[in-house]
Structure 1
Amino acid sequence: MSGRARGVILTGTGVLVLSPDSILIRLLDTDIATTLFWRGVALAVGLACYLLWRERGDARPIFKALRSPLGWGLGVLFALSNILFVFTIAHTTIADTLGCLATASIFAALFSVVFLGERAPLRTWLTAAVIAAGLLMIALGGAGSLIGRFAGIATAMVFGAMFVVMRATGQGDTLPGLALGGLIIATATAFFAQPFSLAGPGIAALAGIAISLPLAFALIGRGPRYLPAPEVSLLMLLETVFGTLWAGLFLSEIPTQATLTAITIILGALVVFYWRQAVVHARAARHSRQVTI
């Protein structure tokens, strides 16, 4: 199997495993603090167990990755993004939430210009303008509360900032930072949560979260080793498609016409953007090979 095929399988499988996340949060049927507490525990314990297995029981590489400011920054941003995500799910529809989250990669591109000094071509700004129009449609025409829809946009912005921190780490290991984020979530909500209040269906949903979240992020975290960032970002858009589909099938949660139109606009703009970016990178690679020859 080629490296690219392996990257597509790992990332695609991770996104598919992650796609029911929103409906599992709904099926927990409990308050936000309790949801976040168990979510944090699942992330911290699951990722820690995976990291210890990967390192064959040696915890030193894990603590080394956490000693850097970037590791802590990633943990804090990951915790904040999850808190905003759960708040958004509680206050608006899953389709609105995932439509907003689909824009995280373009926020990452814009933040890279501001904080990393990278230059953005005209297509980035044009894509950002189209996506802004889509987000405005969700904000004004979506379901649920207005604060929930704006929280969804804030979630996408924090995820975008998290991607910039990941980019700043270079080839560094980001999974310890994500595990730290889970620990921060669990610690911050432990006092307010009622962890033993879950009923039968909620316990089943919790089991699904405990298995799917660590597995999904472990798989997605390996994708960039084999695929360029644009292709990883493109595969991540599958969560919006499948998450909205699962919400309609299992929760009968049908998005508004404005949300469906906005999601179509956002996904279309991002597909064109990443397709064009892949073409530019391919041309640059061919030119580099020709120069070398």
Structure 2
Amino acid sequence: MLLVSLLWSTAGVVTRLLESARSFEVTFWRSFFTLLALAVYLALTSGRAVPALFRAGGRALLVSGVMWSLMFTCFMLALTLTSVANVLITMSLAPLFTALLARMLLGAQVALRTWVSIVLAGAGIAWMYVHKISAEPEALLGTLVALCVPLAGAINWVTLQRNNGDGSRAGRNVDLMPALLIGALLSCLISLPFALPMQASLHDIGLLAGLGVFQLALPCVLAVRVARGLSAPELALLSLLEVVFGIAWAWLGAGEQPLPQVLAGGSLVLATLAVNEGIGLLKKRAQGA
């Protein structure tokens, strides 16, 4: 999940290198290449069994696919409507939403250390960006769109765990990897009408192809797999590292040196996550002994 967050975080610094592609066109090309990469992956790993995977997925597959499409699309759209700070702070609500949803739908007992970590990590994110929060009326729509990302993420993490056979009341064990393909396809269909006329240069398409494969397809495949070994709240909590890593990429790749409060907030997030996961690992080892 650390690698997943690291790969997800590269979107911001790469999009700053684009020449002419903007808004929905960026979303379309990124989702298009994600769709191609996922189609190749499923063909190589499942072959003729792919249709059976879609049939076996049922409603959970459709729900997860729709949630992935919302996450793919709303993140990029929100960035065009409001500040990056507003989007990131809104996304930091994901662990709280996920913990509450897991508690209600799965009856999951969220550990006290995880609740504390959610609060501390959220405080760290807020401290990083509180001085940049935009309260302008025109930014409200962007914030509402950004709110779809943590909400969709929470539903998706809980859906993945509920159908992994570990903690689910139904005890189902369904491979939801095809949901990524559905999500990428829906994102393409949603963004295409608004992306016309296309303006991206070959340089831009090359960068967006890289994003589609390495920033979206690969980490999302890994995320679905690690959902079998981590609780939904832990998945959402670790995904907050995307914010911290994104700041580091902007610093190293675009020369955007973070302010002291950003460094302090990022350090709090990293320390909180390290302590939370460290305690969890020690407890698992103790139980195994």
| TM-score (norm: length of structure 1) | 0.76
Deviations, residues 86-119 of structure 1 (Å, cap 9, x unaligned): 13444434x8756765664454233211221112
1: distance between equivalents of 2:236 and 2:193?
36
* Structure 1 residues 231 and 139: CA distance shift in structure 2, 3 A: closer
Which has the larger displacement, 56-65 or 36-45? 56-65
Q: What's 1:5 paired with?
A: none
Query: Which of these residues, 14, 39, 44, is aligned with residue 48 of structure 1?
Result: 39
Q: Counterpart of 2:163 in structure 1: which amino acid?
A: T
Deviations, residues 231-271 of structure 1 (Å, cap 9, x unaligned): 87787565444432221222233344433333322232222
Q: What's 2:189 paired with?
A: 187
Deviations, residues 205-255 of structure 1 (Å, cap 9, x unaligned): 122123323233334444456x55598778756544443222122223334
Query: Which of these residues, 135, 148, 159, is aligned with residue 165 of structure 1?
Result: 159
Q: Counterpart of 1:108 in structure 2: which amino acid?
A: T
Q: What's 1:34 paired with?
A: 25
Q: What's 1:3 paired with?
A: none
State the SS of the aligned residue for 1:254: coil
Deviation for aligned residue 1:137: 2.7
TM-align CA RMSD: 3.2
Deviations, residues 109-149 of structure 1 (Å, cap 9, x unaligned): 33211221112232233223223423433553236776556
2: distance between equivalents of 1:174 and 1:24?
29
Q: What's 1:211 paired with?
A: 213
Query: Which of these residues, 145, 150, 155, is aligned with residue 156 of structure 1?
Result: 150
Query: Which of these residues, 98, 120, 126, is aligned with residue 130 of structure 1?
Result: 120
2: distance between equivalents of 1:134 and 1:154?
21
Q: What's 2:68 paired with?
A: 78
Q: What's 1:4 paired with?
A: none
2: distance between equivalents of 1:122 and 1:231?
12
Which has the larger displacement, 143-152 or 190-199? 143-152
2: distance between equivalents of 1:231 and 1:140?
25
Deviation for aligned residue 1:57: 3.9
* Structure 1 residues 124 and 19: CA distance shift in structure 2, 3 A: closer
Q: What's 2:261 paired with?
A: 258
Deviation for aligned residue 1:185: 0.8
Deviation for aligned residue 1:199: 2.0
State the SS of the aligned residue for 1:191: helix
1: distance between equivalents of 2:123 and 2:255?
27
Gaps of 5+ in 1: 1-10, 287-293
Q: What's 1:291 paired with?
A: none
1: distance between equivalents of 2:76 and 2:261?
22
Gaps of 5+ in 2: 165-172
Percent identity over the alignment is 26
Whether the 8 Å CA contact 1:75–1:177 is kept in 2: the answer is yes
Deviation for aligned residue 1:41: 1.6
Q: Counterpart of 1:261 in structure 2: which amino acid?
A: A
Whether the 8 Å CA contact 1:76–1:181 is kept in 2: the answer is yes
Q: What's 2:12 paired with?
A: 22
Deviation for aligned residue 1:154: 5.0
2: distance between equivalents of 1:150 and 1:269?
28
Q: Counterpart of 1:197 in structure 2: which amino acid?
A: Q
2: distance between equivalents of 1:120 and 1:215?
29
Query: Which of these residues, 197, 204, 218, is aligned with residue 202 of structure 1?
Result: 204
Deviations, residues 62-99 of structure 1 (Å, cap 9, x unaligned): 32244x11111111111111222213444434x87567
Whether the 8 Å CA contact 2:157–2:235 is kept in 1: the answer is no
Which has the larger displacement, 196-205 or 235-244? 235-244
Q: Counterpart of 1:122 in structure 2: which amino acid?
A: L
Give 1:213-232 correspondences, 5 Å limit: 213-224=216-227, 228=230
* Structure 1 residues 165 and 86: CA distance shift in structure 2, 3 A: same
1: distance between equivalents of 2:110 and 2:120?
16
* Structure 1 residues 115 and 256: CA distance shift in structure 2, 3 A: farther
Deviation for aligned residue 1:186: 0.9
